[in-house]
Each structure stands twice: as structure tokens, then as C-alpha cells.
Structure 1
Amino acid sequence: TELMSGCFIAELTRELHLSACPPSSRHIRAVQCSSYNNQPFMGRLYEWEPFNEVPIEQQCELNCRAIGFRFYVRQSERVIDGTPCGQNETSLCVAGKCTSLGCDEYLGSGRVVDKCGVCGGDNSTCRLVSGVFKHSLSKIGYHKIVEIPEGATKINVTEMVKSRNYLALRSRSGRSIINGNWAIDRPGKYEGAGTMFTYRRPNEISSTAGESFLAEGPTNEILDVYVSKKISLNPKKVTVVGLLVFFFFVCLFSHAVYTTIKICFRYSIFHCVNRLTQVQVSDSLCDSSSRPSPQEEACNLQPCPAFWDIGEWSECSKTCGLGMQHRQVLCRQVYANRTLNVHTSRCRHLERPETASTCQLKICSEWQIRSEWTSCSVPCGLGQRSREVHCVSNVGDFVPDEECNMNLRPNDVENCDMGACAKSWFYTEWGNRCSAECGMGVRTRGVLCLTNQISSLPLEGCGSERPADSQVCNNGPCENRIEWFTGPWSQCSAECGTGTQQRSVVCLMKSNEGFTVMPPYECSSLDKPLRQQSCSLKACGAKWYHTDWSACSKTCEGGFRVREVRCLSDDMLSREGCDVQLKPEEKEDCNPEPCIPLIDENCRDKYFNCNVVVQARLCVYDYYKTTCCASCSRVAHKQSTYRRQS
């Protein structure tokens, strides 16, 4: 006899699959080793094959031996993820470590499959109906084997050994589904009881197995399974149905999902042999009645080991600099070529691969502060100060700001408070009216000393000379008269608020020819009329006042200067009633002429590649300042100009 083995897989999840062994590590490693055949080693090309005689801790290194030589080389610290490792080749290399898998499609969920095949179930959602039919059939016709109840799933009825009989399937309503009414159907798919049955015959499957039909279910009515005994040429011969196996699940809940049951058998095969030579001869030479019955036993009952299933790394969380990337790592196990998720405890014999890792696509450009803060733009009050801030690449070049994280950009401008300012002179525009209608007169303006509260540039304090509040005006000569002559009062010097008005007082001598001006002492005996008096036409309400212009912010290449402008009422309090269209300017440009750097004719570059010195930031050293004087000077001038503009 010869001991043969074969596997019968009952898939109780969704599909029927044949079992398969894990892929050979020799092939996978051989492909990786052969990739180095065209890369010289120590100046010579070799053909490489896997070298597996290494300790377990080195199983996930790519060790390759030169074919025809006695040495081996570690070509890579890690083999490709998923390369089998270990002595039994059931483990996989993941991230350089030899590690080992299914239930609810998620690793680490803590759920396991119960005996009903339900992920996380409590064995209460189904019951298994199974059996083996071994009875002899003496009568011709249909013989009922088993009843399949309504709601059955994962139906499998298989004749484990070929026979001259046929399987048949019929519903309780009397409808024949497979091989009914003494007719033999072709192998194929047949619909019945709400599901699809797959009918197979020996010429389609293993040479030793008989007929079978399978269905996913669930069924919607009761079905009966029969064996049809055909007419034998030998009427005395009794047909034996050998190992007709049937099993199916009856679900208590329609949503239950079942897992895989793997049943393997091995059995003996008998040959007719010569008693003397033990050489196999024709079976006809042996007495068929004395042929031993085949013996079978279960084998390969243990499940395939679980393993870590590793997903692809996600994109790095940052486009530059140190970021994170993640991947899914599941504990999975193979059942009949279908891989399902299982509880992580199944993989406890393997080191769990990392699910997160640091990553860096490139070194980020970074913000650099290239100068100290400038002095405050004003000696008192609120002003501003600035400094140079640049985005600098990892090689030291200035790059566009967009290459740096704008959220992290240091401030290059900030406010500065130099404390309360001294008082400043505020004055209005000159009045348009002269105090005298003829001759010399005056015109006036309002002058006040107020505390400067909102200044951006230096302003004079009130300690300086007070601005004039009156100036001479002349509207032409007047006609003379005798005695003290008073002219009419001039218009009020202020259109609103308190002002002055004047008149001419002269000593005149009247004659027929007219009036002759006399020296004042000629009229000294007469009371001299007042020449000036206060006047007020109406309340001003509000009027614009402003200070002197500040110093220019730059001496060349365009700066600006400012002054403070306020709207004040008659009582010299701040108001908001002034006409905005008449508001004096608070800021104006100044010193627009360009800055002319001094040119030193002796400052020249002594080398042709001084641009490299500038890029390498070597101009800070005296040696390079001298040898690359022109290039370094240009850079220094640009940086100085940039600071002034900031």
C-alpha cells in the first residue's frame, strides 16, 4: 500500500477556496539577491543567491552568497517587507524584523471568531449540522440522506470517494433541483430554495473525489438530499456509498457571518502486486472480493499561523522638516486562501511592526533674524522699530518667504513707546485779512502749546522759540488828514473766535490842497485814539491746528516726515467737527535723491569665483573681504540699503 494525502476544505464564510502554502522564501529572496548581479562588488561582478544560514535575528537582512564561491555579503539591512523568514517560513519580515493573521477586518480589535464563525460572537448565533453517510444501498432508486432546514447556509455535500451513484436535491414542494426525475444533469449552477447550488462531478475535480454540491444560502425552504442508486450489471452486487460527508450551518440570526473550517484527510491506496517480486501488476490478477477497504484519518488540523499585515506608509505629514507617517498594521490569518483579521493576541509570538514613524522629505528653510532692532523712530511717544528677517535655505541662501512657515515668521516691525513727549507748538493757518485797510497792518494766526500725544517722528518741544502769531501786511498807502485821524476799524483778524482789529491813527494837517502828515508830537496835546482792540465775530466751533514738520526719516533715497494735526474748539479742547477736506497733511515725502556710495578704486576682486565666497557667507572674514573686496562690498551695500528701507 501507499499512503497518500489530500485536503478537503469546507469554506463556511463566503466562498470556496483550495488551501495553499505560503510563498517560498527562496524565490522572493532569490529575486532580491539577483538584483545585485549587475552591481560590481570589490571591483567584480558576481551572481548572487540567498544565504539562509544566519541566526534568526538576521533573517530579515538580505544576505546573499556569490554563486560558486564560499563567501556571502549582507547586501541590505532589510529585505523587502513581506519576505518570509524563520525556519518554517511562516513568518514575514516587516520593517526589518521577523514577525507573523483574520476576524472583523481590523487588526487589534480584540474580537475573535466563535465556533459559529461570528466575529466577536458568543457561539449562540448558529448550530452546525454535519455527518458522514456510510450505509449500503441495496435497492435501486432515490435514497434520502439528510434534510436541510430552512435558513441553512454554507451547504456542502460531498462524496469523498467516487461511486456509480448520483447525488440528488429536491425541495419539499416537490420541485427537483439537481438530478431529479431519473435524469442526470450536467455539472453547473442550479437555482433553488432562494440560493445558487454548484454541482460538480468527478471529471471536474480531484480524480479520487466523487460528486458534490455546494451553496452559500440561506435557503428559504426545506430541502431533501438523496443518493440515486443506478442499475448494476451485477444484480447481486451491493453498492456502498463511501464517506458521503455533509454539513451546513443553521443560523439563528440572519446577519451571522461564519468563518472557515478546514478538514484534511489522508487515506490508503491499495495495488495488486506480485508476491515474490512485489512489483505492481494488473488489478485483475487479484481477488477483488479480498480488496481491503480504504482507511482514512484526519490530518493537518492546525490552522495557519497569524501574521502582521502591514499597509503602505502614509504621506509624510510635513513637506519639509521632521514629520510623521503612519500605516495600518493588522494581525491576520489565512483560512483557505482567504485572509481575515484576527485579534492581536494571535500575533503575540511576533514583534509588532511600527505603525508610526518619523519622516523628512527635505530640510526646511528657516526664518533667520539678520539684524538687531533699529532704534525707535521717535524719541518720545509711540513709534516703530524694525529688523531684518529672511527665509534662509539649508545652504544659507535667501529664498522666497513662501518656502518658510509663515505662521512662524518673526516680527520684523513692532511698535515702541518712548514715553510721553514734551509739549509742541500748534498753530493755525494765517488769516486772510489784514488789520489795516490801507497802509501797514497785521494779520494773525492762533498759536498754542499742547502736549504731543500721537507723534511718529521727533518734534520740537514748547521750550523752543514760540512761533509768531502775527505778521506785517500792507494794503497800499492811505490819504492824509489834519489832527489825529482814525481810520475805520479793520475787519476782525479772526473769522471766528477771538481776534483783533486795528485802525490807523495819524496826525494830519488839513489844508486846501488836502492833508499833510505831521509828526506825532504835533498832536501830542490831543488824546490819541486806540489803534487796536479785541474783536469776536462768532464762535469758531472747531478748527484745524498743526505742529511743525518733523525731521526726515532718511537722508537719501526717499524718506518721510510727519506733523501732528488736531481739531480744536474755541476752548482749545479736541473736537471732531472740522472739515476733513481742509485738514492739513500729516505726512509727506522728503529727501528723494539717491544715496551715492563711495567708490574705492582699489577695492577689486582678485579671484574669478568670488561669487562662491559671497554664497558661502565668507565675507565676514578679513581675508575674503580683501581678496573679494568688490563682491563683498556690493553685498554689504545691498544689506545696508535693505535695512534702511525696512
Structure 2
Amino acid sequence: MEILWKTLTWILSLIMASSEFHSDHRLSYSSQEEFLTYLEHYQLTIPIRVDQNGAFLSFTVKNDKHSRRRRSMDPIDPQQAVSKLFFKLSAYGKHFHLNLTLNTDFVSKHFTVEYWGKDGPQWKHDFLDNCHYTGYLQDQRSTTKVALSNCIGLHGVIATEDEEYFIEPLKNTTEDSKHFSYENGHPHVIYKKSTLQQRHLYDHSHCGVSDLIKNGKPWWLNDTSAFPSALPINGTHIHHRQKRSVSTERFVETLVVADKMMVGYHGRKDIEHYILSVMNIVAKLYRDSSLGNVVNIIVARLVVLTEDQPNLEINHHADKSLDSFCKWQKSILSHQSDGNTIPENGIAHHDNAVLITRYDICTYKNKPCGTLGLASVAGMCEPERSCSINEDIGLGSAFTIAHEIGHKKCVESSGVSAKATAVSPTVFLQLREHSVKPGILKKGPSGGGKYCLGERKRYRSCNTDPCPLGARDFREKQCADFDNMPFRGKYYNWKPYTGGGVKPCALNCLAEGYNFYTERAPAVIDGTQCNADSLDICINGECKHVGCDNILGSDAREDRCRVCGGDGSTCDAIEGFFNDSLPRGGYMEVVQIPRGSVHIEVREVAMSKNYIALKSEGDDYYINGAWTIDWPRKFDIAGTAFHYKRPTDEPESLEALGPTSENLIVMVLLQEQNLGIRYKFNVPITRTGSGDSEVGFTWNHQPWSECSSTCAGGVQRQEVVCKRLDDNSIVQNNYCDPDSKPPENQRTCNTEPCPPEWFIGDWLQCSKTCDGGMRTRAVLCIRKIGPSEEETLDYSGCLTHRPVEKESCNNQSCPPQWVSLDWSECTPKCGTGFKHRIVLCKSSDLSKTFPAAQCPEESKPPIRIRCSLGRCPPPRWVMGDWGQCSAQCGLGQQMRTVQCLSYTGQASSDCPETARPQSMQQCESKCDSTPTSNTEECKDVNKVAYCPLVLKFKFCSRAYFRQMCCKTCQGH
């Protein structure tokens, strides 16, 4: 189910784009009337006010209470403003029953409206009309969302499962808008978002937004970004922030600026209502539960520019206008506010600045084109870049503004403050992170409710029984999964690396047979043990405590005997100090450790050239035997893990948790005088009676823990534990009196700021898919100054090499592509005909021509299309010239050709017969002299037998027939 409000990845699709289009696709208009002419379709409707059950109350839908109040006052008086409203309207064959609740949370309690002339602020006020509402369609709460304002009629958006509808009052240019009500209701325009003219995207160096539906998804849901892992650069870790497992509420205080063209279009009287109506929709977009985070867009300040400002240049050129606006808004930014109080200068702080203009903006030239909005990616991290410019296209501008705010998102930090401030760039959230991950489906709250604050996930232990003997270690399996993946062009067999100096919850693997290890994954699979000697497990890359009862987060403790929940009575503590003076150059016995011993510690008292060794009762050496010194590491001996340590600046030691499965002997290889070796371990015993009745227990503060942070303020704690009185060993808390338990001590530590470090954002989408494009990312120098606060520094503040912000990408050659030449002229010149063109298979740089078979046939452009240059003229009669007169003397006949021809000269039978011209006419030739009357000379030629026919058919006028039939034709 995809509706308008599922906007988890929308801000971030974080692809930088802009557009250009022809004049017949513009979305900025001089009047509502002109705007409506460009809509593909719209309808008129008359909304009415009803009660909860839909019963008619009134035709008056605008806010007629005039309930203005100072924003900083106490909560609204119910008598002054209507907190719940219900409306009904019909359109597109549907009935809409709106359930609305007054929304004042999107405006700061320090909200001000300022009017600026050419010399700066002229006057301001802090009054707010209570006429902005959010809600849903009655009985469709979980699948619909509504954001409407009724300041001067219903302005806003209604989102259903299958469509988004904009509604606004029909303006009457002949009436003053304050006389708004009609006797039978005021007409409103309602139109679908899908009917707006669409614009096309074009990659650019900023984020240009167009109102485009792509691949069946609204543009605010598109997401093509990747999430590269962090890499160290010159020893400095580059931070790639990941989504935290705790959801906190975030606030983004916003400055909204309307330019003088906005004032000219909407008028001083309505400009405030219109801007806040748009921002009401923006705030509703970000408050939706499907985001997975609670983000509050707060309008802290509205600045209305009635004249041009000296240091602010706004025109069609979006890039230059954005740059100018960013500098101007920073110059009026309050640096004295902490976001919770008004500073002395009375100017409210803002984290984000939004300019709304009536200019038809364009990202690369000072002429109108198709750009809707422009913002710097990750700009909220820096005050001078936390800004955007947005073209006013009506209520649809809300989506442009919301999208641009998303592109200005900043990084997310552990312990991030719920307040966005100028020195806290860790304000926003990973809006681009996918809502679905492998194996986990994250759903928004059912019923359309708010997203819960606090922990996103809970974990609990499962399958706590020990694995069978010989079962493969889970961490070992994770390393082995990389055996079939090349590493630097080669294949290795990987085993877990168990040495020190690495993160316990990172998957560090050792190449078997080679002397190197590497981190194959930043985090092991949840549930993997942090290390072999602990029950603690890794969750989300962090080591979490597991009690000795194998329950995550349990307080169950092992006693000194390694009995879970025991009182320490099943073993005895053995301690000793070996300092015998012995000759150098051989192995000497220090102490025997019985089978079943636990908490074994053997340690030199001072640094020396001697070496601790360990062997079995059968003289088989496990560590440092046969005059061979082992490297310090972990040894699996006698059913437990022994850790042999030999630091460069401390005495060497040997430790094991136990229990041991055999008797062991600790030896020392003497190279110089024995300075002393201390040892202690606990050996199992069998007691009669109850152990806890033989000894007392008391609460005790543990030593201060290590500071939780090395800088920027950490915490040290003194844990309270229950101990035995005889040997001071820790036991389960239930052996001590719970009523006498003292509180845990806590103190701050390491409060100095952390050293500056680079923050590097994710790479944005490559500008090209082949033939070499460019991609960019945000790079910032940041310093942590508090547990949940960071500040952005100049690049010079970070001493290591600055990571690259731009690089080439997709350098592979593009495959051959079809290239079309120009169309020929339409043939024939009128009526239905065809145009032809040549289509070639060319290289991407157009330098080479390939056989057509190398280009995909299914995408080949057409080479012939139908065309028409208008209706052809009808066929007509065409006459030839008249022939000679048939009579050489006197009356005769003339003939001519008469044909029906089309406009192409072809014979046709479609000419009207009634209009056919004559093909024969009578003629008369002048006689030179009177013919001779000698009848003997005038006779018919004997050979001719057709003379009667000549006379019958009147051919005597022709010279030939008159000569051949002279006698017959005589007198005729």
C-alpha cells in the first residue's frame, strides 16, 4: 500500500536533479484562472461543515472566529478556537468526510512574522490565527491523511490510498475575499496531484526537484543510494553514521522567507495564511509514522519581503539565487539562542531556511525552465548551507519544500540531542535508510498513530543449551563463509583471529597459513560470543552482558568457584608467592594446579628475562617448553583457555578461568635471578552443611570503572556488589540484605573536547551510468564537544588528509546505441503520408558506426511514421486547347480534351459530372471564293461506299469526307 505519507526513503533519494521544459509545461502562473486552464482536469465542489456523524451544520467553512493569539501565550482557550472540525465534500464520484484536529505544534512558541522593506525590518507581530488542522477521513484513519487550513477557505491536501487531492477556494476576482461566504456555500477547486503537468529530471550539482512520478512511485519514495562502509584514512577513522536502535524526537526550527513577487501574487492580506497552510502540509509529511522517526518541522520565523533587499539577489537563476539567499539568511541568523529561550536581540534561532518565490527558476541560467527547488545536500550541517529555494506552484509547493529539507539532512550521532542547534549538526536522521532489511520487516504503527519513542528493538536469549562437543564454532563459520570470496585478487581459508587489539564484535579473520588478519565484517552476527572466556554476546556490533544463567542482561553471577548464583562455599582459595633463589639456566617448578581449579592467575612481580611455562603431569609442555619461547596468545589447554601475556612494559602473566580437566604444573625458565612469582587459584572442595551459614556477606563498592568515553564527557561508575566477608569474593546479590544496599556512585570524566575528525557522507548517485560520470559526497570536519553534541569546524581543523568529495564513476564504455537522423519531409505534400529517417547503430561518442545487430532491436526507433500536411484539394476538370475548325469554309466543329485529374495529375472519377465542361463546339471558317457549280466535276468517289453515313453523321464539314463524298455533301 503506497500512499502519500510513506516517506521513509523520500528525502533521500538524495539524488541531485533539475529540469528544463517547454512553455506548455510550466507550473508557475499569473492567476488561479490561468492555472486552472493548464490542469488536465479539475472539479468544483462546495464543502460544508458537519458534525461527527455527518449531519449538516453550516455552509461556512472558513475560520470565522478570528481567533488570533500570541504564540507565546498559554495553551488555547477552547472558547477562542475550535479544536475539532468536521467537513464534507464530494468530488470525482467520492464522498469525503474530514475529521480534523487543530494543529499549533508546527509553529514555535517564539514565532514572529516580520515585514521587510528595502532598509530591513519595518514591523513585526507574533499573532497566529488558529486555523490550521490535520487529520484523516472518518472511518479511514489508518489509510488516509489530511492537512487543511481554513483561514480563508479550505486550503490543503487529502491523501487516500490511491490518490492525493489538492483543494483550494475558487477565487472571485470581482469580490473582496473577506466577503467570503455565499448563501449556498463557497465553490472550491479540487484536483488530483497526478493531473499536474510533469517535469523531467536532469542531473546537476545541486538537488533540483521536479514534480515527477517515476517507476510508479512518487519522487519522494525513490531511493538509489548505497551505503559504503567506513574506511580508515591515515589512521583517522571516517565516521559513517548508522541508524540507532533508539528513536528520539527531533526538532528542526525553520525560517520561511517569501519574496516580493509572492506578496504581489497572494497579497499582503493572504500571504501569511497561505505560507502557513503550505508549512502545515510540510509538517504533516514529516510527522507521519511510516518515517520510522519523529521529526518536527517548526516554523520559528516568517519573513515577508515587500521590496528587494540590498544583499539578496533573487531571479530566475536558481544556483545564484540559492547562494545569495544562503549568505543572507546566515547574516540574519540568531547565534544567541539555545532554541528554548528568546535571546536578548529578540530574534528566534533557526536551523533551516526556506525561500519561496514566484520566479520560474532554472538551475543553470537566468531564464525560466523546469526547476522546482534547489538545496545543498547535507547542508544542515553548516549554517551557511542550511537553506533552499522553492518555486511557488500552489499547494504542491509543500512537497518540493519537504523534499528539499530532506536533502539538507545531517548525520546522526549516538546520544543525539533532541534539539537542533547551530553547534549540533547531528540533528537529522537517516531518511534514506531502507525500511526493510533482510529478515526484519519494520512496520509503522497500526491505526496511523505516532511512532513510539525509545528502544526500537528488544532482544532476549534463546537456545541457551551448550552446543554438542565437536560442533563448529559460530565465529569460525562466519569467517569460513568468506573462503569463496576473493580478497585482493586471491582466495584464502579464514579462521577467527583471537589476538588482542581488535573490536570484540567485529569479524576479524586470520588467513590460514599466512601471517596477516583483516576485518571481514564490521559486526558479527547477533548472538555471537564476544570472546571465548565470556558469556557476553554481540548485538548490533556491541558487546552486551549475559548472566551466568545464559540470560541476556541477567544479574546472575558466578561465585569464586564458578558456580552460578553460588555463595563461594564449594572451593578454597589457594594463594602463594614463589621467590626461591635457584640457579639460572633451567626449568623450576613453581606450583601444582589440581584438576577442577578455577580463576587461575600466575604473575611475575617484576619484569625479568625469566619465562613462565606450563606442563602436564606427564612432562608434556604446553607453553614455553623445550627452550622454545612461544608468542603471547591464547592457548586451549586442559578444557579451558589460558591467556599468556608478555607486554613490553609490564611483567608477564598467565591466566585462565577454568575449570581445568587435568592436573597442571606451573614452571619457570630461569635466565636470571628469580624476582618472585605470585599465584592464586581456587580448588574445589566438599563441605558439610550450608556454606552461607558459615560466613557473612556485605555490600561493597567496586573500584571506579573505566571512563565510558575518552573525551567529550564520559561516565565512571562504582558498581555495588555482594561479597563474602572471609575472602572478599563476589557472590550473587541475593546473599546480601537488599534493604541495606547503598546506591551506585557515578561521576563524569574526560570532559575535554575530542580531537577533530572527518565525517564522510554516503556517495550520491553517479551522474552517468557509463562513459564516465561524477559522484559527490559530504565531507565535514567535526569535533565532539559533549556526550550528545558536536560542532562543525573549518577544514583546517582536521590535521589528516581531507577525504575526496568528488570522484569519477561508471567509467566503463557505454554499449552501442541507436542514433536517429532528422526526419525527411512529409510525402505527399497533402493528405496522409509518411516521413522517413535513417537510424544508425553508433558508439556512445558517435565516432563509430556498428552493424545494426549490435544494437538492441527492441529499442530501435521507428524509421517511418505517418504524417499529414493538411487536407488535399479535390479533383478537378482539366481542359485542353480547342482544335482546328472542321470546315475549311463555313460552319464546322471544334474539339478539345476534358479530363478529371487529382492534385497529383492522376486520372480520377470523382469530379462532379454536372460541372464537366464541353468537349465540342460549333465553329465557322471564312470562305476565300465561291465554289464552282460544275456538277460534272462534283461526284462521289466510286470506291467509297460510306457517303450516306458521312451525310448522316454530319461529317461533310470535314475536308477529307467532303472531297470523297462531294456529290453527297453538296449543299450540306
For the criterion TM > 0.5, the same-fold answer is no
Using the size of structure 1 for normalisation, the TM-score is 0.25
Using the size of structure 2 for normalisation, the TM-score is 0.18
* Larger Rg over CA atoms: 1
Bigger RCO (CA 8 Å, 6+ sep): 1
